[in-house]
Amino acid sequence: MLDHDSLSEYTLRGMPLTQPIPQVTPVDVERIVRRDFSADDYATVMTILDGYGRENWHRERERVQLAALKVANASIEKLRACIESAGSRANAMKPTLPQKGESYSVAYSS
C-alpha cells in the first residue's frame, strides 16, 4: 500500500509526477455549452448537466460536466449517457485520500 509521504516520491524520468488541476467554474461550463450547442438546445443541455452534482457523493461538479461535454462532442444523446454514467460510477467507487501517516485505500460500494 502507498502511504501519504511516498506519493510525492514517484517520478517519471527524474521529474515529479505532478499535474496541475484546472480550476473551473459554472461560467466555464456555460461558455462551452454555448460554443458546442445551438441556442435552441441550451436549456436541454443545461438540464442534462444539472443531473450531475446533486448527490453528496458527486465530486468536482464542473470538471465532470466539462469532461462530459468533451466526450459528447456536441451530441445531446452522448451527453445524457455521459452524465448518467458519471453519476452511477461516482457512487460505485469512492476514493479515500490518506491523511499523513495513513495508508491509501479505496472504498467500493455495490
Write out pLDDT tens, residues 49-106. 999 988 888 888 999 999 999 999 999 999 999 999 988 855 555 555 556 666 555 5
Model pLDDT for residues 28-47, shown as the tens digit of each residue: 999 999 999 999 999 999 99
Residues of 35-71 as b/e, b for ≥16 C-beta within 10 angstroms?
Answer: ebbeeeeeeebeebbebbbeeeeeeebbebbbebbee
Asked whether residue 110 carries a pLDDT value surpassing 50, the answer given is no
The structural domains of the chain, with segments of one domain joined by +, span 24-108
Q: Which of 21, 20, 28 is nearest to 66 (CA)?
A: 28
The residue written with cell numbers 454514467 in the block is 85
